[in-house]
Amino acid sequence: MYPSSGTGAWEAALVNTLSPGDHVLVFETGHFSQLWGQLALKMGFHVEYLPGTWREGAASAELESRLNTDKGRAIKAVLVVHNETSTGVTSGIAELGRVISRVGHSALLMVDAISSLGSIEYCHDEWEVDVTVAASQKGLMNPPGLSFNAVSRKALSANKTAKMPRSYWDWQGMLKSSERGFSIYTSHEPHLRFARSIADARRRSGEHFSPARTPCEIGPCGGLGVGFGNRV
């Protein structure tokens, strides 16, 4: 959990799992997918776009075809925006996760859930997502300023060999601090209190944001972001 906008969590997902020059695959589904790809490009990654029309989500058949041709396993991560704010297009993340498993590819599945988390169904573990990027704005109905990474065991394993330089975004420092119940940064206490108030209000109104829906939305991740949904 970082004091930052969602862009910070985008960067955290990349620098904690990848090494300089790594090959990442980006599905173009709208403006924010382009921005994430541009950020990766500026950071020195080899970015391959799977072009789209902005009228439909990421195609699982296209991903399967591309991964099957990657015999040398050069692709290290697949970047997808779950619900594209600029277009309203939603991608089928569950099927993308199944494709990566079915092909037996080692690529990490990274998903931007900033506008979908809290708005539509999202299952980090069940859909085999490796890094979920979320933030306080949009679906969680808070002001911008707080962002999150939910992390799979596969992503934590990749973190051990990742060679991208990192300091502020480093998962390890945050994990060690959280074991003691502390944040290594100045916490956005107002955002956390506001998020709890919104969750309480939604419960009272009959909207099952938490806890009935959140175990599926984030759930136990075995790493950063553990229990996030239940606490909000």
**Is residue 31 pLDDT above 90, yes or no?**
yes
pLDDT in tens, 84-127: 998 989 999 999 999 999 999 999 999 999 999 888 899 999 99
- The confidence score (pLDDT) of residue 206 equals 67
For residue 166, the 8-state DSSP code is -
Q: Are 148 and 3 in contact (CB under 8 A)?
A: no
The angle formed by the CA atoms of residues 144, 148 and 150, to the nearest 5 degrees, is: 155
- The confidence score (pLDDT) of residue 220 equals 34
Distance from C-alpha of 21 to C-alpha of 26, rounded to nearest angstrom: 15
Distance from C-alpha of 3 to C-alpha of 26, rounded to nearest angstrom: 26
**Angle of helix 60-69 versus helix 93-103 axis, rounded to 10:** 20
Distance from C-alpha of 198 to C-alpha of 232, rounded to nearest angstrom: 9
Name every residue whose Cβ is closer than 8 Å to that of residue 79 and which is 6 or more positions away in sequence: 24, 25, 26, 27, 33, 36, 37, 40, 110, 112
Q: What are the structure tokens assigned to 182, written together? A: 């502390």
Only one residue has tokens 């970047």, namely 79
Amino acid identity of 172? Q
**Is residue 65 pLDDT above 60, yes or no?**
yes
pTM of the model: 0.84
pLDDT in tens, 175-229: 888 777 777 777 666 767 766 776 777 677 765 544 334 434 433 333 334 333 3
Distance from C-alpha of 217 to C-alpha of 210, rounded to nearest angstrom: 10
